[in-house]
Structures are given as C-alpha cells and as structure tokens.
C-alpha cells in the first residue's frame, strides 16, 4: 500500500537531515528513494517552466525588421 504525502523542500531537507543522523545501513534505501522521486518531480517542474518561458517569449517577442 502506498501513501502519498506532500512536503515543502524545507520539510524534505529536514527529513533527510534527520535520517542522516541514523546509521547509513538503516536509512540508505529510504534516502535514495526520496532523492529519486524528488529529482523526477524537479525535472518535471523545470521542463514545464522552460516550456512556459518559451511560449511567453514567442508570444511577446516583437517582430524583427
């Protein structure tokens, strides 16, 4: 069973900092899973922002003479 939770970047960093205090063997898999999922989300957001910026640039770029 999966439970989806939403956290701010600051909250995720706090969770990772707390996990870092534990022995590596106990938390390594969890840290890697958090990192993998976060990187995928950040990449998706970055792509969306880039596409929006290109659209805005195209719409608001004056024609060249």
Instruction: Work out the pLDDT band at 12, boundaries 50, 70, 90.
Output: very high
DSSP string for residues in the chain: --------HHHHHHHHHHHHTS-HHHHHHHHHHHHHHHHHHHHHHHHHHHHHHHHHHHHHPPPP-
Give the pLDDT score at 63. 72
- Compute the distance between CA of residue 20 and CA of residue 4 in angstroms, rounded to an integer: 22
pLDDT beyond 90 at 56: no
CB 30 within 8 A of CB 19: yes
C-alpha R_g of the chain:
19
pLDDT at 57 over 90: no
Q: What is the pLDDT of residue 10?
A: 95
pTM: 0.66
């Amino acid at each position: 069973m999966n439970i989806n939770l939403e956290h701010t970047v600051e909250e995720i960093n706090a969770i990772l900092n707390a996990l870092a205090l534990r022995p590596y063997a106990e938390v390594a898999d969890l840290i890697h899973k958090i990192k993998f999922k976060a990187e995928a989300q950040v990449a998706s957001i970055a792509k969306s922002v880039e596409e929006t910026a290109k659209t805005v640039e195209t719409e608001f770029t004056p024609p060249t003479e």
